[in-house]
A and B are shown apart, each in its own frame.
Chain A
Amino acid sequence: MTSQPDSPVPAGAPVPATRVVIVDDHAIFRSGLKADLDAGIAVVGEAATVEEAVRVIGEALPDVVLLDVHLPGGTGGGGRDVLAGCAALLGTTRFLALSVSDAAEDVVSVIRAGARGYVTKSISGAEISNAVRRVAGGDAVFSPRLAGFVLDAFGTSPADIADDELDRLSARELEVMRLIARGYSYKEVAKELFISIKTVETHVSAVLRKLQLSSRHELTRWAAERRLL
């Protein structure tokens, strides 16, 4: 646990450094990730198991936790156990799931447990730094694959007015999800749809909320088919 209060703030980013805890059971990956993160992000703690993670996060109270989905310890649920152990902190500390796995059950279960986003470990240092900042700002981070899962789970036809608000994506949300699935960055999505980046972020956050809260029949069936929940 290294505490680096107020590390040099990069030009153009007037906010103080984002405080991050890295939870991953591979020390090599933790050190590699630490080296990859840019100067605006301070790593204030590391943990390798579920129990250690819950303790370190509780002590360090970081802005963002980079959370591996597969972790030893706990009840065997890995990242989900950490999220359950830190349930009280979910309002202030945000979790970004990080995994080598791109299996639907891993991705969706950790999102439904409260993570604000999901990225794969092959992501570049700049991308993950951006993702950390975005999550710290309260937004959601969707990888193309996660967007694909969302489209798969919610269906690709837009919501009727009669539908439960949580059960379907609006036409605009669908458009945003499709573009993200196609590999567009938020900036590119905004340009493509002639909307502001802020609006894109709002749509993505709305989709995240639906993914976390929806109890719609098809989502559960979809999840059951992939042995989730």
Chain B
Amino acid sequence: MTTAPLRPQLTRGGDRMIAGVCAGLARHLGWPVQMIRAGMVVAAFAGGAGVAFYAWLWIMVPTADESARRNARPPASPIAPAVSAPVQSPDAQGNTAIAGEPWRFRLAGMPYGKEILLGVGLLLAAGILVARLLGLDVPLGTLIPVAAILGGAAIAWMQLDETRRTGIMDKAKANQAGGWARLAAGLALVVAGVLVMVSGSGSWQQTWLALLASVAVLGGVALVLLPWGLKFWRDLETEREGRVRATERAEIAAHLHDSVLQTLALIQRRAGNEQDVIRLARAQERELRGWLYRNAERDEGQLSDALQAAAAEVEDALGQPVDVVSVGDSAMTGRLEALVMAAREAMLNAARHGGGPVSVYLEATGGAAEIFVKDRGPGFDPAAIPADRLGVRESIIGRMRRHGGTAVIVSNPDGTEVRLSLPLAPDTAAPAPPSTTTPPEPARPTPAGTTTKDTP
């Protein structure tokens, strides 16, 4: 059976009658299911050996999907194992390696397995000796239930860390809760069974003693298992941490490959076209920045995100850098959508006519969201825009007015600035002062625009 590699793994499931043990065994050994089942039944009549064997396999052999989950744990990336290896403790590593093999090898690889068994045995012996010394007659009728309790507890524990292990790995809390419930139920059953058995055959005093003994033994088991359990838990933690780091690393590698390396390849192929190279580099820089400096706790889809996206679009379309600085933020609403659209139009104009970098500033604090779009182009006269040019008149000024906001365009030979403002609360939106929404007065002479539009 040690030459397992060619054989399918021993797992339960398939066409199950009770727990799929026979089916699993048949698959593993390559024998017909009927033969295994018949063998089991025959063995069951031989002093119940078949039943015990069946029960044992039921407990110790994982189901097909449990096993699949365990085997799926190693990260898929080829670089990940190299990263996670130094973080894992040897014990944890040993466990990972062994987890996929049949249960008996796993049991052997369990940390301190032998020591635990030895400790439990010694504790039992010590208990018996102490009882003898105290002059108590320890009947076999008490010892057997105690052994039963021990066995039950051990089984429950082993079952528990199976479920806990996979539970932790998959972050499925339900498995953990299930494990605890199973433990409690197992213990309750064992203790109750023993009590009934003992009280049925003996006096109340004996029952009391049996209860005491079982509680003492359970305490002893807990004492012995606690340090081991803690160590096991810590190993799991380090293993998990290593895995998280490895996953992170793999994610970074994948991201760099998909984005930066691809862009670098593109840039090499287009080295002759300066405009394309700048555009590619700029888009890649923006993407990388967004990825590096994103704040995981921050809500997505905020006003600043929408503005950034609009700026990126303009940048890609026209090849002019658009720098967005934002202070404060707000959840997106339909009205803010209009604000962003107006800002986008302003950015498009600035990039198209400004002929240089565009500065965008968003301030969404207090009761209003304000966006300023500034370029350093030659400027223009907003009043002199032809009536058929809807860009400024409709997409910026008209749109802002319809949504209860204001748009002011200030232009002089040093550049143009579009100032958009929109109250954040919808109820204050209705009465928009019409004076500020009118297209601004003559623009060439600067004084008209130099009034700051600070909200009171």
Contacts of A184 in B (CB 8 A): 374
Whole-angstrom CA separation of A40 from B452 in the bound complex: 35
Chain A residues contacting B450 (CB-CB under 8 Å) are 191-192
B327 partner residues in chain A, CB cutoff 8 A: 148, 151-152, 156, 181
A144 to B374, CA, bound (A): 12
A-side binding surface: helix, strand, loop or mixed?
Answer: helix
Minimum Cβ distance to chain A for residue B292 (Å): 7
CB-CB under 8 A for A175 and B323, given A144-B359, A182-B417, A184-B374: no
10 sample A-B contacts, Cβ–Cβ < 8 Å, listed by A number: A145-B323, A148-B326, A175-B452, A178-B361, A181-B325, A182-B372, A183-B359, A183-B360, A184-B374, A192-B450
Check: B300 CB closer than 8 A to any chain A CB: no
CB-CB under 8 A from B359, the residues of chain A are 144, 182-183
Q: Report if B45 contacts A (CB, 8 A).
A: no
Q: Which of A102, A175, A183, A188 contacts B361 (CB 8 A)?
A: A183
Give every chain B residue within 8 A of A155 (Cβ-Cβ): 365
Nearest CB in chain A to that of B364: its residue: A156
Q: Which residues on B are within 8 Å of A, measured CB to CB?
A: 289, 292-293, 295, 321, 323, 325-328, 359-361, 363, 365-366, 372, 374, 414, 417, 450, 452, 454
**Interface secondary structure of B, over-half rule:** strand
| Closest beta carbon of chain B to A68's beta carbon, Å | 17
Which B residues are in CB contact (< 8 Å) with A126?
none
Question: Quick check: B452 and A102 within 8 Å, CB to CB?
Answer: no
Additional pairs, 16, CB under 8 Å, beyond known A155-B365, A181-B363: A101-B293, A102-B289, A102-B293, A122-B321, A144-B323, A148-B327, A151-B327, A151-B363, A156-B366, A175-B452, A178-B361, A181-B327, A183-B359, A183-B360, A183-B374, A191-B450
**Cα A145 to Cα B361 with chains together (Å):** 9
Given contacts A148-B327, A152-B327, contact A182 B361 (CB under 8 A): yes
A152 to B362, CA, bound (A): 11
Known: A145-B325, A151-B327, A182-B417. A156 touches B363 (CB 8 A): yes
Complex CA distance for A192 and B374, rounded to whole angstroms: 14
Docked pose: A27 CA to B194 CA in angstroms? 80
Contact B374 A175 (CB under 8 A): no
A residues 185-201 touching B (CB-CB < 8 Å): 188, 191-193
Is the CB–CB distance between A147 and B366 below 8 Å?
Answer: no
A104, closest chain B residue (CB): B293
Chain B min CB distance to A8 (Å): 29
A213 within 8 A of B: no
Please give me the residue from chain A that is nearest to B371 by CB atom.
A182
Q: Give the chain A neighbours of B292 by CB distance below 8 A.
A: 103
Q: Are B361 and A144 in contact (CB-based, < 8 A)?
A: yes
Q: Can you name the residue of chain B whose Cβ is closest to the Cβ of A153? A: B327
Contact of A193 among B293, B325, B363, B452 (CB under 8 A): B452
Q: Which residue of A lies closest to B454 (CB)?
A: A175
Q: Nearest residue in B to A177 (C-beta to C-beta)? A: B327
With an 8 Å Cβ cutoff, the count of chain A residues facing the other chain is: 24
- Give the complex CA separation of A192 and B452 in angstroms: 7
Find chain B residues with CB under 8 A from A4 CB: none
CA distance A221 to B293 in the complex (A): 18
A152 touching B328 by the CB < 8 A rule?
yes
Instruction: Give the chain A neighbours of B321 by CB distance below 8 A.
Output: 122
User: How far is A151 from B370 in the complex, measured between Cα atoms in Å?
Assistant: 14
Q: Are A183's CB and B323's CB within 8 A?
A: yes
Q: How close is A163's CB to chain B, nearest CB, in angstroms?
A: 17
Closest to B298 in A: A225
B328:A156 contact, CB within 8 angstroms: yes
Please give me the residue from chain B that is nearest to A106 by CB atom. B293
The chain B residue sitting closest to A227, CB to CB, is B295
Closest-by-CB residue of B relative to A105 is B293
Q: Which of A103, A147, A191 contacts B325 (CB 8 A)?
A: A147
Closest to B297 in A: A225
> What's the least CB distance linking B415 to chain A, in Å?
8
**Is residue A157 contacting chain B, with contact meaning CB distance below 8 A?**
yes
Cα separation A183 to B417 with both chains bound (whole Å): 10
**With a CB–CB cut-off of 8 A, which chain B residues contact A226?**
295
